[in-house]
Chain A
Amino acid sequence: AQRVTQPEKLLSVFKGAPVELKCNYSYSGSPELFWYVQYSRQRLQLLLRHISRESIKGFTADLNKGETSFHLKKPFAQEEDSAMYYCALSGRGGATNKLIFGTGTLLAVQP
């Protein structure tokens, strides 16, 4: 079964500290992984996807198939990074592109 696990409901860090939001997945095929973000009073939006292998707003995420993880990292947190972050998984090659979300991690960056 497809599953996305985000073990931390809340991650609180100080400005300038490194950030790592954890995501583990369960999927029998070849998955496509995403990170979505929801800032306060804004709609849910895509932050990055693993196949693009790019850095968005200083965030990166590497797909580790051996550990079935897709952790989101940023070397120096900024206050504007405070938001709800959701890891999501989609099966590749299927017609439905069904997107399964984790329960989310609230990142709070303290000044």
Chain B
Amino acid sequence: EAEVAQSPRYKITEKSQAVAFWCDPISGHATLYWYRQILGQGPELLVQFQDESVVDDSQLPKDRFSAERLKGVDSTLKIQPAELGDSAMYLCASSPFGTGELFFGEGSRLTVL
């Protein structure tokens, strides 16, 4: 069964360093999401792509976060510089266009020291 792939699973970095996460959605899924989940909270949407276009990045801290999906397939989320408050699980999800059913990856857990 096809699944959303994410890497790395775990990342430990020092504050002010750069960090990047990669996501490969399920083949054929036009919509890709990046969520951030802080411990004890629900997932919070950071950015949503429709194919290669950003359709919602209203909650993305654009001074330090960037996201791209150049060919409308896989995606990268970057943080530069990382801050202590960025420690969280970063979840990628994909869905067929027009549905609210999201398929999640296992997530990338970031710890900023």
Contacts and interface: CB of A to CB of B under 8 A. Distances in A.
Given A43-B106, A44-B91, A98 B56 contact: yes
B100 A100 contact: no
Contacts, number: 56
Nearest to B31: A97
B85 interface: no
Interface stretch (A61-69, A70-78, A101-109): A101-109
A45 interface: yes
A2 B4 CA distance: 27
B100 A95 contact: no
A61 to B, nearest CB: 14
A32 B105 CA distance: 22
Contacts of A43: 3-4, 104-107
A46 interface: yes
Given A44-B43, A98-B48, A101-B42, A49 B107 contact: no
A86 B33 CA distance: 17
Which secondary structure dominates chain A's binding surface? strand
Interface residues of B, number: 28
Contacts of B101: 34, 46, 49
Chain A's interface size range is 20 to 34
A81 B106 CA distance: 20
Interface of A: 4, 6, 9, 32, 34, 36, 43-46, 49, 86, 88, 90, 95-104
26 contacts: A34-B100, A43-B3, A43-B4, A43-B104, A43-B106, A43-B107, A44-B91, A45-B104, A46-B101, A46-B102, A49-B100, A86-B43, A88-B100, A96-B50, A96-B55, A97-B31, A97-B99, A98-B56, A99-B33, A99-B45, A99-B102, A100-B45, A101-B42, A101-B43, A103-B42, A104-B42
Given A43-B106, A44-B104, A49-B101, 8 more contacts: A45-B103, A86-B43, A90-B100, A95-B50, A98-B56, A101-B35, A101-B44, A102-B42
Interface of B: 3-4, 31, 33, 35, 40-45, 48, 50, 55-56, 91, 93, 95, 98-107
